[in-house]
Amino acid sequence: MGLSDAREAEPRGPLGAGREGRVTTAPSGSEDGHDGVVPDPVPPLSAGGGAPRDDVLRAANLELRPSEYQVVADGQRVGLTVREFQTFLVLAERPDRVVTRPEIYSLVWGGQMAYRDRSVDVFVRKVRRKLEAATPGWVYIHTHFGVGYRFSPERVTTRGGIRS
């Protein structure tokens, strides 16, 4: 296979294509210290952005610590990713208010939510699972179908395996 044949076999197309149609990455151990991977930046939650706040939000048996990106439930840390924490914080800062999916998306990811994007739903589901595992018998996030989500901690009792 000659040089011209090798060029034809190189990947082409819009994703990752360089000026000549080649996939481009930073070389390993490059001067900028990136080893070929550029991290996805996490946007600030508000236009003011900047450093995380030092205040602690408390609701029911939860503490949200924005400066640490931590949730503590019944004295135990709940392991949330940065995006999961940001999603939960957007809701917790607006207790008993329905927050629309596009509003959550805009505050956490920045920009406008694409049509049929399910990112918000996926992250709310992840947060719910982690909180339910840490604090059985509590529900924190309520769904308002077709609209969004509401943060309102409620103790849940079961009767014969059915939540009430």
Contact 39, 92 (CB under 8 A): no
Residue recorded with tokens 């009430």: 164
Nearest to 144 by CA among 94, 109, 108: 94
| Strands of the sheet with 57-59, listed across from one edge | 57-59, 62-65, 70-73, 76-78
Q: What is the pLDDT of residues 138-149, one digit of tens each?
A: 999 999 999 999
Q: Can you say whether the dihedral through the CA atoms of 137, 164, 130, 90 is positive or negative?
A: negative
Residue 162 CB neighbour total at 10 angstroms: 7
Query: Would the pLDDT of 102 be above 70?
Result: yes
Which option is the CATH number for 80-163: 3.30.420.40, 2.40.160.20, 1.10.10.10, 3.40.190.10?
1.10.10.10
Is the whole model's pTM more than 0.85, yes or no?
no
First vs last Cα of the chain: how many Å apart? 70
Q: What is the pLDDT of residues 24-79, one digit of tens each?
A: 333 444 444 444 444 444 444 443 344 455 689 999 899 999 999 999 999 999 99
Q: How confident is the model at residue 158 (pLDDT cuts 50, 70, 90)?
A: low
Query: Would the pLDDT of 121 be above 80?
Result: yes
C-alpha triplet 135, 105, 144: angle, nearest 5°? 60
Extents of the domains making up the chain: 1-39, 80-163
Number of C-alpha atoms within 13 angstroms, CB side, residue 116? 0
